[in-house]
Amino acid sequence: MRRPIVGIIGNHQMLGDDYPVQAVGVMNIDAVSQVAGAIPLIIPAMPAEATVQELAGICDGFMFTGGRPNVHPSHYGHEATEAHGAFDMDRDNLTLPLIRHCVDAGVPILGICRGFQEFNVAFGGTLHPEIRDLPGRINHRMPPDGTMEEKFEARHVVALDYGGVFAEIFGSVEVCVNSLHGQGICQPADRVVVEGRAEDGTIEAIYIKEAPSFALAVQWHPEYNASQNEVSRPLFEAFGNAMRENIAKS
């Protein structure tokens, strides 16, 4: 059987002061290749370059990565404020319809951090602009200084629903994860099923109800050290298995 092709959604960045690029973190590429057993393909977040139908016809699955810009609040009926930070409307205009199309078409998808938030917005949910400003919440942002190991170290526990999809994948109802995000889910969309929460109530693990294939997302960053981490590895393996099952059926 051929290896699946995974479209990894890129992010707009500037190389120097005047050269725009589309970039994907190497750890995302490694996780797809080494753990999901797939061929990584960088997809520029530029909706004018290809339709979602064309992209879904090329790729066997998609990974919606993290990124510094946040989903623009106009997509969920809120006003933009300074607390929302920067935006990338091109990425919004690609990912939100692509997520919906993949769910309808049964194309496996995995959402991470911003991608997790995109899953919720794509189906009508809303986001908090800044989790740490809410009463009783911890600061989920990464430490501003320190090594990569320190920034991506496991920082809090996520409690998972007993008998749920994630508990089955991880073989546990509790996992310890990293935390590198400012925003988070406020109101879950009707089709979003919440299966994991941090100790402070922050939503951390979701899937799309009645999706015909893999449609899972997490708020943390499982791509870090994915081949060695006991939480990350089974998630990417399950993603890869879902794509291979689809290929075998075709």
pLDDT at 85 over 90: no
Give the mean pLDDT of 8-35: 95
* Domain boundaries, position 127: 5-249
Backbone φ and ψ for 14, nearest 5 degrees, come out as -110, 130
- Which bin fits 171, alpha (ψ -120 to 50), beta or left (φ > 0)? left
Res. 48: pLDDT tops 80:
yes
156 is a catalytic site residue: no
Locate 136 and state its tokens: 């009783």
Active site residue 113: yes
Q: Distances from the Cα of 230 to the Cαs of 169, 235, 242, in angstroms?
A: 11, 9, 19
* Phi, psi values for residue 60, rounded to 5°: -90, -10
Q: Which residue has the higher pLDDT, 213 or 130?
A: 213
Write the CATH number for 29: 3.40.50.880
Catalytic option among 12, 72, 113, 204: 113
Judge whether 92 and 137 are in contact, CB under 8 Å.
no
Structure confidence at residue 154 (pLDDT): 85
62: pLDDT strictly greater than 80: yes
pLDDT band at residue 236 using 50, 70 and 90 as cut-offs: very high
- Give yes or no: 223 in active site: yes
Q: CA 203, CA 125: separation in Å to the nearest integer?
A: 13
What's the pLDDT at 139? 85
| CA gap 136, 157 in Å, rounded | 16
> How many Cβ atoms are within 10 Å of 167's Cβ, its own excluded?
19
**Which one of 75, 84, 181, 221 is the catalytic residue?**
221
How do residues 163-218 score in pLDDT, each as one tens digit? 999 999 999 999 999 998 989 999 999 999 999 999 999 999 999 999 999 999 99
Q: How confident is the model at residue 152 (pLDDT cuts 50, 70, 90)?
A: confident
Q: What is the mean pLDDT of the chain?
A: 94
Tell me how many domains the chain contains.
1
- Of these residues, 118, 195, 204, 223, which one is catalytic? 223
For the segment 229-239, the average pLDDT, to the nearest whole number, is: 97
Tokens found for residue 189: 């969309």
